[in-house]
Structure formats: structure tokens, C-alpha cells
Amino acid sequence: MDRQTAQYRRALTWLAVAVVAMVVAACASIGRPEGGPRDIDPPVFLGSNPAQASTDVSRNRFYIEFNENIAIDDVTNKVVVSPTQKATPSVIALGRRIVVELRDTLKPNTTYTVDFGDAIKDLNEGNILDGFAYNFSTGSTIDSLQISGMLFEARNLEPAQGVLVGVYSNTADSAITTLPMERISRTNQLGQFTIRNLAPGTYSVFAINDKNRDYHWDRTEDVAFLDSLVTPTAMAIVRTDTVRTIDHRDSVITRASVAYSPNNILLTWFNEDYKAQYLKDKSRTDSLKLTFIFGAPADTLPSITLLNGPLAGKPIDKWARLNASENLDTLQYWITAREIIAQDTLRLATRYLRTDSAQCLSPTNDTIQVVYKRPKPKKENKKKAETDSLKPAPTPMLNIRSVTGTTQEPLLNHIFAVDEPLENIDLSLIHLEQTADSVWTPVTDTNISPVRATDLMNFKIAGPWQLEMKYRLTIDTLAARSIYGKTNKPTVISFNTRKAEDYASLTFNIEGLGTEQGVVELLDASDKVLRSAITTDGNARFDYVLPGTYYARMFIDRNRNGKYDSGRLLERIQPEEVFYYNKKINVKKNWDIAQAWNIYAIPVDVQKPDAIKKNKPKKKSGDDKKTDDEDDEFSSGLGSSSGSSSHGGLRDNLSIGGGKNSSKRRN
């Protein structure tokens, strides 16, 4: 009996050891089993308190439950509440729950929407739940209409990410400047937006980059507007879906759904480039230069008079020379009077146009002081100073240099610059020669002039230039004299042009322009404009194109001024329409390329090549998966337009693909 008891006890001991070992093993492998499938699904909404779409709600705190632990990304910028709130709501993620607290007093008989956009993601894998919104009503009914669309930057068709889009039932033009938007949404990474829970009625639609969070437009903010008013509608429809069964067969099912419209609104944002006019900065970085920087371009120069020193009472044009920017917003005065060069503190009476509180320009008188801090003299070696004093000081000379460089493009001007403003330049002492072999011949029709009237330091030699040619610009002694009396030493600037076979030509045959004038812009891989060409009879030609990879866009030049014009909100002027050629263009040496381009053949949201987009959506797991709750509001193109927006409305049922292209090597 004792022996059996001992055996029994040993068996219990081994059993206890085994159990402990199993527990330890389990504790050591809490994570996902090796080789298991990676979670690619976004969090799933399970329910809320109060329930989704509840009515007669009086509380201001809400709980939203999901099937896994979640996180909320950038609450301040991504989560928006309609109607707009004065006090910032509290939105917190706690495990599988989101707690929302509205701090404004709830309005009676109002539908509220908490739009999370793409802020919700699961905690472990970061899978994003895009487009989730929670709604409820303080009244007995809940408004359920919605409108959708896309927002792009007008100038370059970049998808607008995280920009506020909203509506007004007050359709007065002044509403956007004085009243907060009534219902709002934010664009996602693709520039898409949906404004939810609208009441029946007619609305105006706007988008603003609301930097100061007041939910209406200020003149410095980016803005977009729809030309026409919208009336949201909903229609019951039956959708047909294909699902995969357990045994891997496709099965077609139908389900009841609702189609909301308009769901293809196109907005293009712009900035009026409004800048308040004021004296932004003043400085005197050395004894010779006095610089004024203004907040905006100007049409007139300020009046500046010296108030102190031996030349007190003298206007600035009596003791300084002006070298100004093209828009007169940067004024650099080079001081010529010795008395003022030696004067460290300048008190100046100024009179200029300044933007007042009514946003109008009015004359302003101001007294300013500019102080020059002279550098402390360096201590010199006494023996070296005695040696140097025996040598005559070198006469300072005026430096002339080429800005363009040694290779000259055929259609561009050659630019050369001096390091001080010129008092005069003697063109008879400047000679331009050319050679194709070794014999230099004069170029007799040389045209040399300042690059602009207000620039005394940069000069241009007008083209065009002959191909496969060497050029030599000789500037004789005393040809140029600065405002300080410096003259130049003999200077030779050499440059050359390329061979004809080093270039290609590129022609765009534009379809869809009609009688309008277009300006085609040749772009590099960073979307930067390299050259532009105005269309003639629907064609735009670029000669002397170097080999490389290019892209192209075009804008319709409504006023035929040859430059792009942005919009004006209060005047209800849309920005000029922009189109992208949707493929890269590979240019080879000595080829003539003709490119057919139908500007309306491809929907606007897929025109710009991905390679040159800056606002690219972040890739996320399961992008190719689609849930049954999605409503197919966005395809590869937006489809037809419901209003007269930029691009004249989107075309429906348009095929994706360009026209015929041709290229041939030159003989």
C-alpha cells in the first residue's frame, strides 16, 4: 500500500511539472504564431452608444466600439464635426473604443456628424479605416443626404490632402467671408471628399485651407468654389456584386443600396496671392547698400527723405542709385554720397502705400531709423604693415562675368553681370564675334540692353544664336563705369552653341481646344516648367529640345496674355483650366516627335502622371480589398459633372488612352 502511495505521489509530481511547463510555454508565445497570415483588414465598427443614426439625443459624450484595439491619427487635422464647433471636441482612443465629447452646446433638431476621414487605424498593423463617420440627431429625424467629389490644386492638378470642404445653405456671396461653414468634410489622400447628413435644400460648395480654424475664407487662404448651386438627392438602387464562395466559385448577388448625387463634384483650389502692403524689412548690411523689402508688389516707388546729417532734407535719389526687383517689392539703394557712406545712423522720412484695416491701399507717413554696424578693424602685424605701405594700393576694378556660362542655347539671351550698378556702358567698346572654324567674324547686329529698366547690374545679349558656332564677347577697357567710378579691365567671355543633331523637335497636336488659345508647358521630372509655347491652330512646337525625359501640361489662356491667371473668388472667376499629358515623353537626339493630345480624352483625376505627383497616397495593406459597404463613388475617373466647374465639367464615358503619336529620325 505504501509503495502504491509513493507511485501515486510521483505521478502527481510529474503531472504538476508538465502543467507548469505548458503554462510557461504558453506565456513565452503570446504573439501571433509563426507563419500565420498577416492582418491586412482595417478595424470593423461593431456598435456605438448612442447607436449610429440615433434620434432625440441629448447627451454630448459618445462611445464607438470596434473589433480590435485602435489608434487615431492626427485628431486635430483629420477629425471634423458638423455643424462646425467653436470649442475643439475631445476625441480619444481607449483600447477598442473611441470616446467623443462635444464641448459646444447641442443645437435642437440638428443632425450631427463626426467624420473621421482616414484617421482610424488598427493599433498593431496600422490598417486604415477610411471614410468612417458617426452621426446622430438631437431631433426626431436624421438628415441623410450627401454629396461627394474631388479637390485638386488648379495650377498643377495635385490631389488636395486634408483640405476643408463645406457647404452653405445661405447662398449669398458674402457667406464664405463672414459665416462659418455649416457642414464640412476633409479631403483624403486622393483628394476625395464626402459631405454627409445634409438636409434637403440647395447649397453652395467651397473648399478652404483653413489655417486659422475659423471655418470661413480669409483672403490669404487657398480657396475653391463650385460655379453652380447643388441640390442633393438620393435614389434607391439595386447593386450587383460578385463574391467568392467557400469552394472558390464566383457567385452573383444583389443588394439594396442608395445612390447619392451629385457624387462627382470637381473643385480646383487656387490662391489669389493677396499680400498686404507694408514695409516688411529694412537693412543696411554694408556702408554702400540700403535695402527696403515690402510685403507685396508695387506700382510706385516710396518717397524717402534723409532727416539727419550733413545732407538732411535731401530726397534719396540725390544721394543713392536704385537697383530694384521687377515688381518693386525689393528696393536696393546704392549710396553714392561720401557723407552718407560715412554716416552710421540714417533717420528717414518715408511715404508709401500701405494696406489699411479696410484692406485698401492708403498713403502712410513713417519715420524710420537704419543703423549700420561697422566691423571692428583687424589688428595687423606691424612689420607686415610697414612692408605693405611701401607698395602702392591696387586700383579697384569693375568685375564682369558671364551668368549664362560657356554653353549657349539657341533661343535664349546671353546674360552677363557686373558687381556694382553701372553709371554708363559704351557699346562701341563691346564686340561680339563668331567662328565656325578658326576665322573670327564680327556679329554686326548685336543687341545689348539691361535685363529690365530697374536693373543696373545685369545685361542681356539677344539671340537667336547660330548652331555649331563659337562666340567671343570682348569688352574693352573703360567700356563700363560704375556709379563709384570703377572701370573694367579688358574682358573676354567665350561660349559656344551645340550641333543641330544634338537636339530634337517636339510638336503637340492639341484636340479639344476649339477656338481657344492654349499655352503648353514642357516640364522636367520635378514638375518644373522648362519652356512654354503658345498654340497656333491647335499646335504647339518646341525646337531645340535636348535629349531626356519630359512631361507636359497645358492651360487654356482665356485672356490671351500668354501667362497663367489664377481665380478671383468674389468676382466669381475660376482659375484657367489646366490639363496634363498623361505619359512621359522620351526625347532622343536628332528626332522629330509629333504627339497627339486630346485634352478631354482622360478624366482629370488620372491625367497627371504618378511619377511627377507630389501628393502621393501612402500605401497601406489591403488596398486592393473592398468591403460590401463601399458605394463605388470613385472610379479611375470621376465621370460626368453636375455643375459648371473648372474643366467645364467632367466628361462621362470617356476612354482612357491618348491619341496617335509619331516620331521619326531626321534625315
Mean pLDDT of 359-388: 80
Banded model confidence at residue 461, pLDDT cuts 50, 70, 90: very high
Do the domain assignments include residue 184?
yes
What pLDDT shows up at residue 7? Answer: 52
Do the domain assignments include residue 558?
yes
What pLDDT shows up at residue 159? Answer: 96
**Given 457, 478, 500, which residue is the final one in a domain?**
500
User: What is the rounded average pLDDT for all residues in the chain?
Assistant: 87
Q: What is the distance between the alpha carbons of residues 186 and 582, in angstroms, rounded to a whole number?
A: 27
629 vs 498, more confident: 498
**Assessment of whether the complete model's pTM goes beyond 0.95:** no
CATH of the domain at 97: 2.60.40.1220
Query: Does the pLDDT at position 648 exceed 90?
Result: no
- One domain, residues 364 and 459: no
Q: 468 — phi, psi (to 5°)? A: 50, 55
Do the domain assignments include residue 624?
yes
What pLDDT shows up at residue 391? Answer: 60
- One domain, residues 197 and 72: yes
Q: Provide the number of structural domains found in the chain.
A: 4
- One domain, residues 113 and 246: yes
Element containing residue 76 per DSSP (H, E): helix 75-78
CATH of the domain at 626: 2.60.40.10
Banded model confidence at residue 382, pLDDT cuts 50, 70, 90: low
CB 196 within 8 A of CB 165: no
**Given 238, 269, 300, which residue is the final one in a domain?**
269
What pLDDT shows up at residue 645? Answer: 37
What pLDDT shows up at residue 31? Answer: 40
Banded model confidence at residue 113, pLDDT cuts 50, 70, 90: very high
Mean pLDDT of 204-232: 96
How many CB atoms are closer than 10 A to CB 120? 25
Do the domain assignments include residue 37?
no
Do the domain assignments include residue 34?
no
- One domain, residues 365 and 484: no
Closest-CA residue to 552 (of 538, 577, 533): 533
Q: What is the distance between the alpha carbons of residues 224 and 569, in angstroms, rounded to a whole number?
A: 8
What pLDDT shows up at residue 654? Answer: 28
What pLDDT shows up at residue 240? Answer: 83
Element containing residue 77 per DSSP (H, E): helix 75-78
DSSP structure string for 357-393: TTS-EEEEEEEEEEE--PPPPPPPPHHHHHHHTTSPP
Do the domain assignments include residue 567?
yes
Per-residue pLDDT reduced to its tens digit, 235-282: 999 988 777 767 777 778 888 899 999 999 999 999 999 999 999 999
- One domain, residues 89 and 208: yes
**Given 436, 467, 500, which residue is the final one in a domain?**
500
Banded model confidence at residue 376, pLDDT cuts 50, 70, 90: confident
Banded model confidence at residue 392, pLDDT cuts 50, 70, 90: low
Task: Classify residue 69 by its DSSP letter.
Answer: -
Closest-CA residue to 545 (of 572, 566, 569, 520): 520
CB 75 within 8 A of CB 88: no
What pLDDT shows up at residue 10? Answer: 55
- One domain, residues 253 and 296: no
Q: What percent of the chain has pLDDT over 90?
A: 76
CB 365 within 8 A of CB 348: no
- One domain, residues 492 and 511: no
Banded model confidence at residue 359, pLDDT cuts 50, 70, 90: confident
Using CA atoms, how far residue 249 sits from 72, 186, 473, 625, 629, in Å, is 38, 39, 79, 18, 22
Per-residue pLDDT reduced to its tens digit, 138-173: 999 999 999 999 999 999 999 999 999 999 999 998
Contacts of 6 (CB under 8 A, 6+ apart): none
Report long-range pairs for 396-400 (Cβ below 8 Å, ≥24 apart). 396/486, 397/486, 397/487, 397/488, 397/489, 398/480, 398/481, 398/482, 398/486, 398/487, 398/488, 399/488, 400/475, 400/480, 400/488, 400/491, 400/493
- One domain, residues 245 and 327: no
Query: Does the pLDDT at position 204 exceed 60?
Result: yes
Beta-carbon-side half-sphere exposure of residue 527 (alpha carbons within 13 Å): 14
- One domain, residues 445 and 545: no
What pLDDT shows up at residue 659? Answer: 41
Domain that holds residue 530: 504-665
Do the domain assignments include residue 164?
yes
- One domain, residues 260 and 176: yes
Query: Does the pLDDT at position 381 exceed 90?
Result: no
What pLDDT shows up at residue 242? Answer: 75
- One domain, residues 475 and 513: no
Banded model confidence at residue 489, pLDDT cuts 50, 70, 90: very high
Do the domain assignments include residue 377?
no
- One domain, residues 237 and 150: yes
